[in-house]
Structure 1
Amino acid sequence: MNELIGLLAEPFRFGFMTNALAATLIASIVCALLSCWLVLIGWSLMGDAVSHAVLPGVVLAYIAGAPFALGAVVFGFLAVALIGAVRDQGRIKEDAAIGIVFTTLFALGLVLISVTPSQTDLNHIIFGNLLGVSRSDLVQIALLGAVVAAVLILKRHDFTLYAFDPTHAFALGLNPRLIGATLLGLLALTAVTALQVVGIVLVVAMLIIPGATAYLLTDRFRRMLMIAPAIAAGCGVAGLYISFYADTSLGGMVVLTQGVVFFAIYLFGPTRGVVTNRWRARAAANRRSVAKAAP
């Protein structure tokens, strides 16, 4: 028992691991909450686009000495506007427009990083630097996470109605355009929240996998909002321990753990698991065969 307690406590003898755990839990829970709506609306690709498109905004904010969140939100909305402009020309479909815009803005961010003199390694924006999270970084992550979580919780009924039926939401007096814009703004802020944890490249995984996993486990959206953050937080803690003892990338291990859990539930989930359903169907067929053979 003492050995187990020692193994669990060992990583937190180091201050940077404590900061890493706090940042991982905050980012995981906030991303998981938002992912529930992204999965329902069908904005997985849009989440990928916005999370990558904020890169030049973050770099420009760094150059100007402005908050990262400001640059992220500006470029998040710019990406959406550009996608709409390209798509509305008629010949280019939405998926192609999204691919063109987010890769172009992401490339702009890479170019800006390459020409920006900096005493800090801006490549951490791309790949994350969870072990380098400072107290000031943690405060920023906590503040942004609190803002996103508060808006999602307070406006959850409006967002849910928009996700299921925008036309009905409009009939009830809500503004679907404003709700969609608010979600996109929250998406940009959430991308900044998760930057230090997994970087721009893997943010989309944290924005999609928890909601998709919860969706396999329940038909009730309220339960999704509890299951997704619980799964994300558990994977964050498990990924941190595995990374510490296996000496691997911490951000990558957090996302890999989420992916492993998703596929485990996809295959062996209690109601929708592919393997579970096959076992159930085979057992039912065997029962029918026995019933027919009985005298």
Structure 2
Amino acid sequence: MFEELLVPFQYDYMMRAMGISALVGGVAGLLSCYVVLKGWSLMGDALSHAVVPGVVLAWLVGIPFAIGAFAAGMLAALAMAGLRDRTPIREDAVIGVVFTGFFGLGLFLMSIFPSNVRLRTIVFGNVLGIADEDMIQMAIIAVVVLGALLLRGRDLMLSLFDPVQLVVAGGSPARMRILLLVLLAATAVAGLQAVGAILVIGMLVTPGATAYLLTDRFGHMAGLAACIGAFTGVAGAYLSYFLDGSTGGSIVALQAALFVAALVFAPKHGILASRRAARAATA
């Protein structure tokens, strides 16, 4: 029985899948704290879907997928920012129009050029079949995002909680907004191979939302979210071997299960704790 549980560790493709899933999951979990606190869940969803046409066009011209995906993500972000600032349309409507438009364009291009099977993995993910060059790209993106958060994480946090203090300190809330958009687009690109464009939003939101229920301190929240992302990346890939199911689906489903557990049992913000506090207040 114990030997059977160790079987996935005997395969190189499983070790690679678990390692990459943990790396991307940890980085996405860390970034998800900023997404949750800024209320940018829809923005993360938009960017994760908007990269699809960039991937298709990158394949057509023969450049790395990551370049096309990142360019499409940034173009979508600029389009959303421009429409929001220059029209009376609400931000959520702008995000919905842009990301569905980009995603629809990507699916349309995929239907015209269906010969490359790898394009379909962009939508649903295929971390088990990841190529060496894709692993290098994902690792570089993850390191760059981590480095940016380490260098400018304090300014990003100030832009969320106290933009006036950031200005006094010589920072720029607008620049921090652009930086966060860039990091979101980069992380969405990194998550494509692991879970696909449809599920990458889960990695960019769920760990941060779960950690938010468990602590009131940002440092603890960031550490918890990163650990949740990394743990579910490894555990989801590991479980997918025995369940013979989608690796990306396993990872995001496990994250959702942890969120539900935190929602119910969190010591301060959970449903049970809220009911106990309400009963104590009325007693």
- TM-score category (smaller protein): over 0.9
User: Which deviations, in whole Å up to 9, do the C-alpha atoms of 1:125-161 show, x marking residues without a partner?
Assistant: 0000111113332222111111111111111111111
Cα RMSD, aligned residues only: 1.8
Of structures 1 and 2, the one scoring higher in RCO (CA 8 A, sep 6+) is 2
How far does residue 95 in structure 1 lie from its aligned partner after superposition? 0.7
Q: Which moved more, 1:6-15 or 1:30-39?
A: 6-15
Report whether the alignment pairs 1:7 with 2:27: no
CA distance in 2, matches of 1:285, 1:191: 44
Report whether the alignment pairs 1:65 with 2:40: no
Q: What residue number does 2:190 align with?
A: 193
User: For residue 123 of structure 2, what is the amino acid of its counterpart?
Assistant: I
Q: What residue number does 1:210 align with?
A: 207
Q: What residue number does 1:245 align with?
A: 242
Superposed counterparts of 1:36-115, under 5 Å? 36-115=33-112
- Contact 1:19–1:135 (8 Å) recurs in 2: no
Q: Which moved more, 1:71-80 or 1:267-276?
A: 71-80
- Taking a change above 3 Å as real, the CA distance of residues 264 and 71 of structure 1, as seen in their structure-2 partners, is same
Q: What residue number does 1:291 align with?
A: none
CA distance in 2, matches of 1:21, 1:7: 17
How far does residue 40 in structure 1 lie from its aligned partner after superposition? 1.1
Residue 226 of structure 2: which of 229, 249, 258 is its match?
229
Residue 27 of structure 1: which of 24, 27, 35 is its match?
24
How far does residue 56 in structure 1 lie from its aligned partner after superposition? 1.1
Q: What residue number does 2:180 align with?
A: 183
Report whether the alignment pairs 1:164 with 2:161: yes
Q: What residue number does 1:261 align with?
A: 258
CA distance in 2, matches of 1:166, 1:55: 33
CA distance in 1, matches of 2:81, 2:281: 51
- Contact 2:240–2:250 (8 Å) recurs in 1: yes
Q: What residue number does 1:152 align with?
A: 149
Q: Which moved more, 1:229-238 or 1:181-190?
A: 229-238
Please, which runs of 5 or more residues in structure 2 have no aligned partner?
Answer: none
CA distance in 2, matches of 1:178, 1:171: 14
How far does residue 69 in structure 1 lie from its aligned partner after superposition? 2.8
Normalising by structure 1, we get a TM-score of 0.90
- Contact 1:170–1:176 (8 Å) recurs in 2: yes
- Contact 2:66–2:137 (8 Å) recurs in 1: no
- Over alpha carbons, which structure has the higher Rg? 1
Please, which runs of 5 or more residues in structure 1 have no aligned partner?
Answer: 289-295
Which consecutive aligned stretches of 4+ in structure 1 deviate over 4 angstroms post-superposition?
none
Q: Which moved more, 1:110-119 or 1:202-211?
A: 110-119
Find the residue that maps to 2:118 and give its secondary structure: coil
Q: What residue number does 1:219 align with?
A: 216
Normalising by structure 2, we get a TM-score of 0.94
Alignment size in residue pairs: 283
- Contact 1:56–1:109 (8 Å) recurs in 2: yes
Q: What residue number does 1:292 align with?
A: none
How far does residue 8 in structure 1 lie from its aligned partner after superposition? 3.5
CA distance in 2, matches of 1:228, 1:81: 28
CA distance in 2, matches of 1:248, 1:38: 29
CA distance in 1, matches of 2:203, 2:158: 23
CA distance in 1, matches of 2:39, 2:194: 25
CA distance in 2, matches of 1:103, 1:119: 23
User: For residue 41 of structure 1, what is the amino acid of its counterpart?
Assistant: K
User: For residue 18 of structure 2, what is the amino acid of its counterpart?
Assistant: L
User: Which deviations, in whole Å up to 9, do the C-alpha atoms of 1:11-39 show, x marking residues without a partner?
Assistant: 12222111111111111011011101111
User: Which deviations, in whole Å up to 9, do the C-alpha atoms of 1:177-232 show, x marking residues without a partner?
Assistant: 22111111111111111111100001111000001111111111111111001111
Find the residue that maps to 1:29 and give its secondary structure: helix
Identity of aligned residues (%): 47
User: Which deviations, in whole Å up to 9, do the C-alpha atoms of 1:232-289 show, x marking residues without a partner?
Assistant: 122222222322212211110100000000011001111111023324544x479x5x
